[in-house]
Structure 1
Amino acid sequence: MNSKELYSEILFSNRRCASIGLKNSINFPLVTLNKEDLKVKMDKNIELINVFRNCIGNIINAAKEKYMFLLIDQGGCLLTLVCNNNVYNSYIDKFGFRIGTYFTENSLGTNAISMAINVKRCVFLTPQDHYCDILKKWYCIASPLIIDEKTIGYFDVSTIEHDMAEEMVALTELLVYQIENEYKKIIRNKDRTNIIKFSKEQLKILKLIAKGYKDSAIK
């Protein structure tokens, strides 16, 4: 997607936000899961969360001083994040962002994650591209996480009051690739363990059935 196409998508998103009466002056995200629903969602995505944490754990601490790394589920819900404590206290916690917060248009207006959900590809948004004032200092890259042509979630790298360095764009692509491949390994291993194992007697019966023998003959 070129810059002109992205700009058009941003305008469409802004119009949708305005049409539902979303004010750009909101002080906190409007949609956040309750504890019970959040627990269900976390349990469902625990393997993806662990993969994300392991992959981000390999990032040098210098990157965590300046950048936030977010994992979002298919529906736009924040599953986990990694960032410096100062960033967390100054921006994340202060403005009501929580695990379970939704980054959808109806919750936070136009943002990189909502755009990635809409256009189904990696997007980069600058502060002026965001609809709500609480994101007006954010530079963000968001990309779908795709396994076998199915979107399993979204990966976001954000920085506040600092422009996004070119090397971080490349690092984002590498992290998306790593998360997808590590999660794919888990899925494949799980599929192997779920394969039904037949006894010798059961295999013998299956072979007879395949040759056309009736139940009475097999018995």
Structure 2
Amino acid sequence: MKPNASPYLGFDKDARGVKSLWERFNAGLIDTEERRDTYQQLLLHEWQRCKALGVDVAMTMGRRLSDSEFRLRMQAEQLLLETAVPIVRDVDRFLADVPGIMILIDRSGCALHISGDPRVGEFAASRTGIVVGSQWDEATAGTNGIGTALAKRQPVHVFASEHFCEGWQSWSCCAAPIFDADGHTVLGVIDYTTMASDFREQALALTVSVANSIQARMTMHRELERSRLVTAFSEAARRYPFDDMLALDHAGRLAIHTPSDRCRRIAENWASGGFEGTPAVRETFEVTAPNSESRIGTLILLAKPASYDRVFLPSNTPSSLRDAVEPVKRFGHFLTRDPDTRRMLGELERVAAADVNVLIIGETGTGKELLARQLHASSPRRAEPYIAVNCGAISEDLMESTFFGYVRGAFSGATRAAGPATSSPPRAARCSSTKWASCRWPCRPRCCACSRTAATSAWAPARPSRRAAASSPRRTATWSSWSRRAGSARTCTSD
């Protein structure tokens, strides 16, 4: 006898001997101490399990779901139907003269689609109740090809009297499970059923081949789903650049996350099968297929941790006056236990000592200008003025004059000369350009020039170059003349 590599496979089928064993089992005449071969021990074990589940051994007709239940089941398995039915129909072309039917089953054991020989299909429906919507899991119908393949998660061949219920013992059922792209999750079963007298040895190989074809096509579909999920995650990450986010696939598995320490810890806990404290969720977004409403994943926007709240030292100075004249003295005035915030503040403190330009990006109200003031207060130029410029509030025509000064008569209302941005020359000052998003497009190239670092370290009163004086009767100082004279490092903040 061949080794039992898989349940019901590798044994010589003995329909008469098995029928006698089945009758003695149901009559209570089986001696549990009697020595038996592996094949009989397997069958008795399966039948005992079905009896413990309360399956009626005298059942002759399969149980059918109600129409409403079946509609819900069809809707839930739309992807399986779209993937598997074309493959099953393609195989049908080569089985036109074979007396059998091929059945597509979902993961619960419900028949979703039946094709094959019409005469066999009609006979199976009238005699055994094998119709779409019928239920064939082991808890409902006992040992059978469909239910046993679901239970064992591997191909099986249940022949004639090997079935537990008397009504199925005239059939031969070869079935193979259909796995999802991960190779572990069972999506359903492909079953090929014939009369026991019409059994074909190739039937089991046929079902395995069809199941593998369905799995291969499902893998391609899952790759497309993952690509769309990653695209949706990237778009959401651009909308929420400072938040932690997780992306779960259709099965609730973690697919991708933001590269933060917090998300990495969550991913490690997820992989180990649990959480050390469930993270608070701020918002969720369902990702659906482009041509249907089927869900392909979920984006989870995590709430800020409880330790994220920042506490600022109180001050009796009115806020408007303090913002105008008083820079914050040091980075230590930020109090937080959030590790990401601490790391950011540490990096800014190191950058402040360098003679480099800094671009601070953040949503409105997140404290960009406060950080810019901190950079100035921690820089070697802390004793010099700090200038905050709202780019959105400056007229397009007066951009250069506002930044670099003007002479009397340069424009309407210029009754006297003025220095750049303030009435006194700002030696090595730090300029903060705010509200970049509200700045008009023609002004943006001019604002960008403000972020360039000049070569010298002292500022001299702006004087028009010869070229500017010759070409402009208003004698407005040019960008280049001021840029050569101003030796300032600048911080630009943007919404």
TM tier relative to shorter chain: 0.7 to 0.9
Measured after TM superposition, the shift of residue 155 of structure 1 is 1.4
Higher helix fraction: Structure 1 or Structure 2? Answer: 1
Gap runs ≥5 in structure 1 = none
> Matches of residues 85-124 of structure 1 in structure 2 within 5 Å?
85-124=118-157
Report the counterpart of residue 171 of structure 1 in structure 2.
Answer: 206
Tell me how far apart the structure 2 counterparts of residues 58 and 7 of structure 1 sit (CA, whole Å).
Answer: 38
> RMSD over aligned Cα, in angstroms?
3.1
Mapped pair 1:202 → 2:234 = no
> Matches of residues 156-195 of structure 1 in structure 2 within 5 Å?
156-195=191-230
One-letter amino acid of the structure 1 residue matched with residue 201 of structure 2: E
Mapped pair 1:140 → 2:177 = no
Tell me how far apart the structure 1 counterparts of residues 121 and 240 of structure 2 sit (CA, whole Å).
Answer: 62
Q: Deviations along 1:7-27, whole A, 9 cap, x unmatched?
A: 544322211333455333223
Instruction: Say if 2:175 and 2:204, in contact at 8 Å, map to a contact too.
Output: no
Fraction of identical pairs, as percent = 18
Measured after TM superposition, the shift of residue 184 of structure 1 is 1.8
Mapped pair 1:82 → 2:121 = no
One-letter amino acid of the structure 1 residue matched with residue 71 of structure 2: K
Mapped pair 1:52 → 2:84 = yes
One-letter amino acid of the structure 2 residue matched with residue 40 of structure 1: L
The structure-2 alpha-carbon separation of the partners of 1:104 and 1:9, relative to structure 1 and needing over 3 Å to count, comes to farther
Mapped pair 1:28 → 2:96 = no
Tell me how far apart the structure 2 counterparts of residues 174 and 78 of structure 1 sit (CA, whole Å).
Answer: 19
The structure-2 alpha-carbon separation of the partners of 1:7 and 1:49, relative to structure 1 and needing over 3 Å to count, comes to farther
Gap runs ≥5 in structure 2 = 1-5, 12-36, 243-258, 261-342, 345-359, 369-493
Tell me how far apart the structure 1 counterparts of residues 152 and 240 of structure 2 sit (CA, whole Å).
Answer: 52
Matched residue SS, 1:162: helix
Instruction: Say if 1:69 and 1:81, in contact at 8 Å, map to a contact too.
Output: yes
The structure-2 alpha-carbon separation of the partners of 1:141 and 1:197, relative to structure 1 and needing over 3 Å to count, comes to same
Q: Deviations along 1:75-96, whole A, 9 cap, x unmatched?
A: 2111211122111111224432
The structure-2 alpha-carbon separation of the partners of 1:72 and 1:5, relative to structure 1 and needing over 3 Å to count, comes to farther
Instruction: Say if 2:174 and 2:203, in contact at 8 Å, map to a contact too.
Output: no
Q: Deviations along 1:136-186, whole A, 9 cap, x unmatched?
A: 121111111112121111111111143432333322221111011112222
Structure possessing the higher radius of gyration over alpha carbons: 2
The structure-2 alpha-carbon separation of the partners of 1:187 and 1:158, relative to structure 1 and needing over 3 Å to count, comes to same
Instruction: Say if 2:105 and 2:112, in contact at 8 Å, map to a contact too.
Output: yes
The structure-2 alpha-carbon separation of the partners of 1:205 and 1:133, relative to structure 1 and needing over 3 Å to count, comes to closer
One-letter amino acid of the structure 1 residue matched with residue 136 of structure 2: F
Instruction: Say if 2:138 and 2:151, in contact at 8 Å, map to a contact too.
Output: no
Measured after TM superposition, the shift of residue 68 of structure 1 is 1.3
The partner residue of 2:162 within 122, 129, 143 is 129
Tell me which of the two structures has the higher relative contact order, counting C-alpha pairs closer than 8 angstroms and 6 or more residues apart.
1
Tell me how far apart the structure 1 counterparts of residues 126 and 83 of structure 2 sit (CA, whole Å).
Answer: 24
Matched residue SS, 2:64: coil
Q: Deviations along 1:110-152, whole A, 9 cap, x unmatched?
A: 1112221222211111101111222112111111111212111
Matched residue SS, 1:110: coil
Matched residue SS, 2:148: helix
Matched residue SS, 1:99: coil
Matched residue SS, 1:50: helix
Instruction: Say if 1:10 and 1:115, in contact at 8 Å, map to a contact too.
Output: no
The structure-2 alpha-carbon separation of the partners of 1:203 and 1:72, relative to structure 1 and needing over 3 Å to count, comes to same
Matched residue SS, 1:184: helix
Q: How many residues align?
A: 217
Give me the TM-score of the superposition, normalised by structure 1: 0.83
Matched residue SS, 2:129: coil
The structure-2 alpha-carbon separation of the partners of 1:20 and 1:205, relative to structure 1 and needing over 3 Å to count, comes to closer
Instruction: Say if 2:155 and 2:204, in contact at 8 Å, map to a contact too.
Output: no
The structure-2 alpha-carbon separation of the partners of 1:216 and 1:37, relative to structure 1 and needing over 3 Å to count, comes to farther
